[in-house]
Amino acid sequence: MNAFQIEGDITKKQSTIIGIVGFILLMTLWQVVTTYGNISSSILPSPLAVIASLGPLYENGLVGNALFSLKLNLSGYLEAVVISIPIGFAMGLVPGIRALVSKYFQALRFLPLPAITGVFVALFGLGVGLKVHFLSFGILLYLIPVVVQRIDEIETLHKQTITTLGASKWQKVRHLYFPYAMSKISDDIRVLVAISWTYIVIVELLNMEGGLGGMIFVSAKQSQTPPIFALVLIIVMFGYLQDLAFKYLDKKIFPFKYDGQVKRSISKYLKK
């Protein structure tokens, strides 16, 4: 077994086993540190205390609040994707549009979103729509420039191939730019979706209507550290499961990413 050697090989089974061992070691280290270390439980609770806090959290509506946060997250990034894709493609394919607005989107990435929550309240009120639009805005600021970048990264060889096959400009958009850029953008969407989870606590504090972020805030006000850790771990779990779902869908929607048959795929698309 050379899994821990430079440029070593590792099987899927070995990777799974090592991952499980790593998790057990992490939990053991956490328990040892909190048991024998000079760390207050109000700062770092033990894993057993975190697990024990799930019971009271369940009684206080954990499932309903988790579903509320999941709904906000899904709605936010779906709205961001629907808005970002056409804007990004317009900027990536039409030089005039890119020159007109690209610099503004590049600059807006540095905007401190928590500082402008008041603007969103003024525009959308204090309902669920406010939260969805806030999360969507946080994602699309990063996603739109990425869409443009992915279009720019399409290889010249692919462009020359489809041109040789006699494709018109719209055929290039439909059969080359869109499928191949989207196959890369799908990975970016999977990564950027994490942004909405990082903002979930902020947005749920605006006119608190529930959610995991709201529960974290209440636990913090009551100085209950174990529930805070439990809720954070639940958010991490949701994010990880979403990531797995995205990977599965990506393989189903863009199979040519995994079979290496680029030229044949272009020919197949053009003949449709």
List CB contacts of 48: < 8 A, sequence separation 6 or more. Answer: 31
Please give the residue range of the domain that contains residue 125. 47-270
Buried b (16+ CB within 10 A) or exposed e, 95-129: eeebeeebeebeeeeeeebeeebeebeeebeeebe
The type of residue at 193 is V
Same domain, 148 and 66: yes
- Lowest average pLDDT, out of 104-118, 154-168, 227-241, goes to 154-168
pLDDT tens digits for range 165-198: 777 778 888 878 888 888 888 888 888 877 778 8
Same domain, 52 and 29: no
Same domain, 35 and 54: no
Same domain, 98 and 15: no
The more confidently predicted of residues 102 and 263 is 102
Q: Residue 60: name the closest of 233, 236, 219 by CA.
A: 219
Coil/strand/helix, residue 120: helix
Q: Is 161 domain-assigned?
A: yes
Mean pLDDT of 237-252: 86
pLDDT score for 222: 86
Q: How many separate domains does the chain show?
A: 2
Same domain, 182 and 263: yes
Question: Does residue 272 have a pLDDT over 60?
Answer: no
Q: In which residue are the tokens 């821990």 written?
A: 4
Q: How confident is the model at residue 64 (pLDDT cuts 50, 70, 90)?
A: very high
pLDDT score for 67: 92
Mean pLDDT of 197-209: 81
Same domain, 27 and 88: no
Question: Does residue 229 have a pLDDT over 70?
Answer: yes
Same domain, 53 and 14: no
CATH number at residue 95: 1.10.3720.10
